Structure 1
Amino acid sequence: MDGQATPEGTVRIGIAHGAIRSFSEEGGASDVIAPDRAKRAGLDYLALGDWHGAIEVDPRTHYSGTPEPDRFKHDRPGSALLVNIAGPSALPEVMSLETASFAWRTLDMHLFEADDPVPALQALLPEPRQRRQTLARVVAAGRCRLPGHTALAEAVAGAMPDFAFLELDDTGLTTECEEEDLDLIDRAGALREAANALLAEAGDVNRSAADREVARAALARLYSYAQKVAP
């Protein structure tokens, strides 16, 4: 359509779905839209869809984003674009309008060993009236004592009913454990032996990172169960 004539006084608009660059290792993909397509085709505006993020390619070419995000990759609220074009060859006036009913949020939490994770969590979470329309992922990193790690997991679990979705990603959180922490599981017997074994596995550098993480998670779960049944 690059050579198609435009009647005088007509605003010419293009609509397309696809990418302006290829993520394939093979160059020259035929389905890639040229970034300067609007200029080539004499378009006053080119409305693009495919990427879920709102992107200005150039003043006449925009990805509108998505009315309702569907993953944590897009933390920005869903939107649509209101485009006004005064006349042929005029630059478009583009305004973003929020349209989403739900908000997707990634909440980063970095902890030091002495921090209390529960108040830190409460400071991160949105206010109660916003939670029902929020899908949130708490990404915890840093270092935390075993009781604090357990308290954090329980606090997240307790808040889950308030949210459309809430999860804890604690894969980046290193759990510190001392003798007194294991004493809160049991001072002797089978439970203490299991706790000692899990602690050793969690710190064994000869094991894979995945195996060490499973051991840490199992130790935290054992601690949680022990606290629930403690007199």
Structure 2
Amino acid sequence: DILPAGGGTGASRGMIAGGTSLQLVLEDAQEKLTAIAAHLLDCLQGDVVLQDGSAFNRNDPEQTVLFARLAQAAHTEELLPPGQEPGLDFIGSNTLGKSPYAFGAHVAVVEVSRETGAIKILKYVGIHDSGTIVNPMLAEGQVHGAVVQGIGQALFEGMVYDPDGQPLSGSLMDYALPRADNMPSFTFETMETPSPITGLGVKGIGELPTLAAPAAIANAVMDALSQTGVRHIDTPLTTEKVWRALHGSNP
């Protein structure tokens, strides 16, 4: 009942669709507030600057009006400029005709124990171009979490069933998730090539590392095993699977 439409935030819709819609709404709000301010300050609308909770005339900064006063005027018909409807309600929507694809590259260096099959990640480097970064801290958190999720898919996570089809890994006691002590110190860099498709120039950031990480880890492990004659192991590349592959190649 609060929003006329909404499809959730999946598939990077948070900033791509929602952020662009918010931008459109804020532009409408800016247009109306500057028009009201110009009327109250008796100046041209193009001379109005909105800054730090107030509006002022750029040609005479002493002429100023607080946002609270603008909000009050927006709901007082006699204070509105001609042709303006009362209120500060705005609705914006955005439909993308194309997807603003993000790009990235990941490199992993791993060490595989011949004796136990254990895999240790020695170094992990990734670079991402996700367009305009609105919040660097949250973007970095998205990348860290996504890479760990991808590493989990490559090395640990998998559903196991008994011969009757009963799940044997149905709880976190049995389903292996990556932990902090399984992870190396990551090195991440960011490029910003604004997307021409979205108003803010943003692209997705959450999915990209989850796709790159499993491939980077699996390729690194298989490269390490290639000298032993092992060419393929189905993920997750658990210690047991790697040990069995090594044992079969080198009895």
**TM-score higher than 0.5:** no
TM-score, scaled to structure 2: 0.22
> TM (normalized to structure 1)?
0.23
Bigger fraction of residues in strand = 1
- Greater relative contact order (Cα 8 A, min sep 6): structure 1 or 2? 2
Higher helix share: 2
